[in-house]
Amino acid sequence: MKVTVCRKESFNAAHRIAHPEWSDEKNQKIFGACANKNYHGHNYTLSLKLSGQVDPETGYVYDMKKLGELVKKYIIEPLDHKNLNLDVPAFKHRIPTTEHLAIYIYEQLRPHIESRYEIKLILEETDKNYVEYPA
Amino acid sequence: MKVTVCRKESFNAAHRIAHPEWSDEKNQKIFGACANKNYHGHNYTLSLKLSGQVDPETGYVYDMKKLGELVKKYIIEPLDHKNLNLDVPAFKHRIPTTEHLAIYIYEQLRPHIESRYEIKLILEETDKNYVEYPA
Amino acid sequence: MKVTVCRKESFNAAHRIAHPEWSDEKNQKIFGACANKNYHGHNYTLSLKLSGQVDPETGYVYDMKKLGELVKKYIIEPLDHKNLNLDVPAFKHRIPTTEHLAIYIYEQLRPHIESRYEIKLILEETDKNYVEYPA
Amino acid sequence: MKVTVCRKESFNAAHRIAHPEWSDEKNQKIFGACANKNYHGHNYTLSLKLSGQVDPETGYVYDMKKLGELVKKYIIEPLDHKNLNLDVPAFKHRIPTTEHLAIYIYEQLRPHIESRYEIKLILEETDKNYVEYPA
Amino acid sequence: MKVTVCRKESFNAAHRIAHPEWSDEKNQKIFGACANKNYHGHNYTLSLKLSGQVDPETGYVYDMKKLGELVKKYIIEPLDHKNLNLDVPAFKHRIPTTEHLAIYIYEQLRPHIESRYEIKLILEETDKNYVEYPA
Amino acid sequence: MKVTVCRKESFNAAHRIAHPEWSDEKNQKIFGACANKNYHGHNYTLSLKLSGQVDPETGYVYDMKKLGELVKKYIIEPLDHKNLNLDVPAFKHRIPTTEHLAIYIYEQLRPHIESRYEIKLILEETDKNYVEYPA
């Protein structure tokens, strides 16, 4: 009776995709407009998936209200309406690509959710681009 | 040449999330507004996924018209425009959470689809919450 | 410099479409499955539109945070996770069709928003059916 | 035989909602997280609507390929992957609210589209907030 | 108490955008890939909007079941899974642009809906292009 | 650090689902309206998923601009605004079902993407029907 439950949340942020040790020319060549120096931004949509046994008493795999509070505390508050490069310490030395952002979100949440739950997340950067982690 | 084919259908229903042996206070504490005694409701979206070999003659994994008829007969007719707690016998003694509803839908359809097909379903309760079964 | 600003919010509720003075047979004939006696339900999506002049200082037509608080207080709290027929006094003697619900929402909000704003709303009951009020 | 034709395009940008002559405290009080000093960002969706007579020869109100090129040249290129406050001269002294951005887009396009066409646009900043101009 | 009620339906069809009296070269120049001689196709989404008084007895502007039947009979059956150029007599001598198709749909439905209802429709050809008629 | 990156693209095409060696009657019986002889069509949405290690320098699993160019060259150009049965050699003797089309797209792209990437794709034919390959 293992079920996967999923919760979608949104946040928006500015970022710039550029390697801090590369020249502007190289960054522009590799990352194109994503490297523009004054930042651009996105509405991110996060789908958080937890797989686990259904609790026989409540019929829930996980209390969605509790999950919502964890996401709010560890993800939305530090990321929403922020500049990922400037405001989030983890991205001082790590390029804030969607891949890195998904791994970061996973690492922030994993310690706060019991290990018996398998976690997977989908992070949409635009209507055309999204990532899944772990693969 | 194994392909997964998916079909989306919708239905809407009323329900109440409450343990029949718990007090109103306890139900309200655990389930919040979902336990409100006069029911609330949702537009559910069901995505039914069948994985199997492509038939070399038709190019189909499964006849979608036949699948649509099975879903109509075993899922839409008994659930659509119904009160899950009062009108669906399976939920007389089983809380109609999305998890339980997904398992119920799977159990209703599984006997009518040949065992060579793997079945998986996604059940969306709102734009923010959905479940997948089996996990 | 008149701009229309729009805000989308969601709530879900149970209801039954039936005339209190008609027989079950007549209600079933006129309203079909919508008249089922134990209620069914929907995820409603409300788009609230305010037309007005842009404030030259803030660049806003209306403070969306304030609008969100009004919608929460006068619409979401009385309707969300409720049974429209049983829990909302206005629908004791008024069939809770989407048309009536849209007019009700308009009447609840209109007194709390300055008359210099024109108000229009879109209320979606399902992915296929929605209403606009005023027409 | 007047028809409205609509074209949807997307771009993303960073911005900050803050009055240049107000203190940080006042900006934070009026604009909340939108005033965060390091910017945040959005995926904007623009729907451009042109109303006019159907050309009896082509069956078109307007050549969508030509409209796409105008939008690309006058809207997407100057705004996409940009910081509205820093990179777009019009917003040096004008707060880049969605209202102002919609008026700006209208003013950029209007001179390039024959006056016999009525223009209206919808600009979505997030899934929950959008504006229409002219109202 | 005038409300607009809206109903969304879908159909799909093949078509080719080409003037029957123009050369292939001219059609290709004016219409691009839309003029390809072996046809291409779309999933069309039709939103039909009726504005009228709310019936004080039923709370309905129009019986959606009856509207669904009219749309099925006069629009879906003649257009769905068809080639607009070859299978629909009205497009033998009229280029099946979205503009013309919207006018055609309006003309098919208007005689079957009482004149006290104002009718307006939205016809989406792709996620990026749609038309409204009347403008 | 294995992440799945996904890219969505669209194209539209005409097709007919019919076995070339069957009678019209048999095709109509097995495939219904999909066998109509003058073709119909769809807006297809392709989600291409690549799973692989995150490049420690760029923070990318795969350069999305390069992926976009591959999809444009090998998928969009040969399929968009085409008749699958008549214009695409692979479907001269293979029924263009969504299953077959998904396998075809996979086979076209696989040789151009390094084997260390796992590829999976989702192909949507309508809002209700889609396939995943490999299953």
Task: Give yes or no for a contact between A15 and A40, defined as CB atoms under 8 angstroms apart.
Answer: yes
C-alpha closest to that of E131 among C41, D61, C62, C74: D61
Cβ separation D126–A38 shorter than 8 A: no
Give yes or no for residue C1 having a pLDDT over 90. Answer: no
CB atoms within 10 A of CB E30: 18
Region C130-135: mean pLDDT is: 98
Q: Do residues A8 and A71 touch, judged by C-beta distance below 8 A?
A: no
Q: Which residue has the tokens 């970061």?
A: A104
Please tell me which residue in D6, D34, D42, D100 is annotated as part of the active site: D34
Could you list the pLDDT tens digit for every one of the 135 residues in chain E? 899 999 999 999 999 999 999 999 999 999 999 999 999 999 999 999 999 999 999 999 999 999 999 999 999 999 999 999 999 999 999 999 999 999 999 999 999 999 999 999 999 999 999 999 999
Q: In sequence order, what are the beta bridge partners of E80?
A: none
For residue A72, the 8-state DSSP code is I
What is the pLDDT at residue A40? 98
Give how far the C-alpha of residue B11 lies from the chain's centroid of Cα atoms, to the nearest Å. 9
Strands of chain C, DSSP E: 2-15, 40-53, 82-83, 118-124, 129-133
Q: Shortest Cα distance from F134 to chain B (angstroms)?
A: 6
CA distance F39 to F29: 16
D48 interaction partners in chain E (CB closer than 8 Å): none
Reply yes or no on whether C57 is catalytic. no
Query: DSSP readout, E16-61?
Result: ----TTS-HHHHHHHHGGGG-TT-EEEEEEEEEEEEEEPPTTT--S
Catalytic-residue membership of D34: yes
Closest residue by Cα to residue D87 from D19, D12, D25: D12
The kind and range of the H/E element at A78 are helix A77-79
Which tokens in the block code for residue B4?
């997964």
Beta-carbon contacts of D70 under 8 Å, excluding residues fewer than 6 positions away, are D109, D112, D113
The pLDDT value given to residue B1: 87
Contact C40, B11 (CB under 8 A): no
Q: What's the pLDDT tens digit per position in F72-87?
A: 999 999 999 999 999 9
Closest residue in chain A to residue D84, using alpha carbons only: A40
pLDDT at residue F117 in the model: 98
Average pLDDT over residues F115-122: 98
Average pLDDT (C1-14) is 97
Question: Which DSSP helix (H) or strand (E) runs through F115?
Answer: none
**Set A19, A40, A77, A81: catalytic member:** A81
| Residue C16, phi then psi, degrees to nearest 5 | -145, 130
Give the active site residue among F6, F9, F42, F125: F125
Q: Find tokens 């004791």 and name the residue.
A: C92
Cβ atoms of E23 and E41 closer than 8 Å = no
Low-confidence ranges of chain D (pLDDT < 70): none
- Give the phi and the psi of residue E130 in degrees, each rounded to 5: -150, 165
Cβ atoms of residues F61 and B23 within 8 Å: no
For residue F10, the SS3 value is strand
Sign (positive or negative) of CA dihedral F46, F49, F55, F58: positive
Read off the pTM.
0.97
Q: What is the mean pLDDT of residues C26-35?
A: 96
Mean pLDDT estimate for chain F: 97
Is there a contact between D71 and D7 (Cβ–Cβ < 8 Å)? yes
CB B10 within 8 A of CB C127: yes
CB contacts, 8 Å: F8 with chain A = 127-129
Which residues of chain B have a pLDDT value below 70? Answer: none
Q: In this predicted model, what pLDDT tens digit does every residue of C82-132 receive, in sequence order?
A: 999 999 999 999 999 999 999 999 999 999 999 999 999 999 999 999 999
Q: Are D83 and D45 in contact (CB under 8 A)?
A: no
**Rounded to 5 degrees, what angle do the CA atoms F75, F79, F80 make?**
105
Size of interface B-C (CB pairs under 8 A): 77
CA dihedral sign, ordered C73, C74, C78, C81: negative
Distance, CA of A135 to CA of C64 (rounded, Å): 38
CA distance B75 to chain C (A): 15
Q: Do D3 and E30 touch (CB under 8 A)?
A: no
- Interface contact flag, D9 E131, Cβ < 8 Å: no
**Which helix (H) or strand (E) segment is B124 a member of?**
strand B118-124
Instruction: For residues C130 and A25, give the distance between their C-alpha atoms in angstroms, rounded to a whole number.
Output: 51
pLDDT at residue D1 in the model: 87
User: Which residues does F18 contact at the CB level (< 8 Å), separation at least 6?
Assistant: F27, F31, F34, F35, F37, F95
CA distances (Å), F57 to each of A24, A83, A95, E49, in order?
15, 21, 9, 54
H helix runs in chain B, sequence order: 24-31, 64-71, 77-79, 84-87, 98-109
Q: If DSSP codes are grouped into helix, strand and coil, which group holds residue D126?
A: coil
Q: Which pLDDT belongs to residue D122?
A: 98
Terminal Cα distance for chain F, rounded: 23
Burial of E56 (C-beta count, 10 Å sphere; 0-12/13-18/19+): exposed
Segment among A48-52, A97-101, A112-116, D65-69 with least mean pLDDT:
D65-69
